[in-house]
Amino acid sequence: MAMKLASVVVVLCTTIAAVCGGDEGMKASFVFGDSLVDAGNNNYLPSLSKADIRPNGIDFSASGGQPTGRYTNGRTIADIIGELLGQENYAQPFLAPNTTGRVILNGVNYASGGGGILNGTGKIFVNRLGMDVQLDYFNITRQQLDGLLGKAEAKEFLMKKSIFSITIGSNDFLNNYLLPVVSAGERATETPDSFIDSLIISFRSQLTRLYSLDARKVVVANVGPIGCIPYQKTINKVKDAECVGLPNQLAVQYNSQLRDMLTELNDNLPGAKFVLANVYDLVMELLTNHRSHGFRTTSYACCGDGGQYQGIIPCGPTSTMCDDRSEYVFWDPYHPSEAANLFFAKYIVDGDTRYVSPINLRQLLEL
């Protein structure tokens, strides 16, 4: 479950001939990550991390307000970025039975609530798709594209007309390292430095594997200020205007190494363009100046049941819900509202290098 404000790659892409210019434009979006961008994969898993119950999706017009497995009241950040870039159809969940045939030419969503960079992350949820498994599934899609388009055209389709987005890493802290030792977190055996080093080593290998499968335009979100989510604020009993220190310190340390790693990959992998979505600073901007951006509260979850900031029990049929969801940064104890996702997406698509670098997504599409 994990909110995550961030770890936001985000990669998001789309059928956007209108924006990119006919056949030369982006055609598909391949989305990897956690519950921030899960479009319903966990619906098909016997998992304790699910969002297929009301009132999740209450503002998702494409489903008539019915839950789809998205961990928010409406669209995810991946959905919104696709729309901003002209995408007509959302990338469908890999595990959905109708994600077959030419449907995959719109792209595929592999993200999974509870998933992380490390295979052991999120095991408290029993089942979830970690990044290694998501890449295994993309390899299946990769072979299907060869069958649909032919090997040469499939390679060009992926390298020139597809965007890959990755939003992952928050669960590796929230639902791994920061768990109590009795819950099998990694703190019992690893220092923060060694744990973050292991994340970077694993993630570098995963991104290199994605490159070997012909991904070239890749957006990666860093980890947001996870010490500011209602769940962390509630269990640590901090004041309204405060965030929990340790989770944010870990995120900052990881994000610094992530930036260096993406620069290294850009330098060493011919033709690759890895773009960093600086979700951490983007979320902090919203939290710090929320009123000027039209939000009323940054501490309380709109939908929850229990704790100082509605930050204990995930959103479900018995939860209390706020009256105006557009005024809340957080939908539930872990995840942003659609209104917050819209704020983030606009900056990632058209923002400057404070929030997305070395180029933004609209510029990435024009390459």
Residues 6+ apart with CB under 8 A from 361: 12, 81, 85, 163, 219, 275, 348, 349, 350
Residues 6+ apart with CB under 8 A from 258: 169, 200, 203, 220, 222, 223, 276
Whether the CB-CB separation of 273 and 364 falls below 8 Å is answered with yes
Whether the CB-CB separation of 280 and 222 falls below 8 Å is answered with yes
Task: Return the structure tokens found at 226.
Answer: 């996870």
> For 42-59, b where at least 16 C-beta lie within 10 A, e where not — what string?
bbbbebbbbbeeebbbbb
Task: Provide the pairing of β-strand 108-109 with 92-93.
Answer: parallel
Residues marked active site are found at 35, 332, 335
Q: Residue 109 is inside which H or E element, if any?
A: strand 108-109
The structure tokens 């501490």 sit at 299
- Nearest 5°: phi and psi at 28? -145, 150
The DSSP 8-state label assigned to residue 47 in this structure reads -
CA distance 58 to 262: 37
Task: Return the structure tokens found at 7.
Answer: 């770890």
User: Three-state DSSP class for 140?
Assistant: helix
- Nearest 5°: phi and psi at 264? -60, -45
- Nearest 5°: phi and psi at 90? -70, 145
CA distance 157 to 26: 9
The structure tokens 């029993």 sit at 126
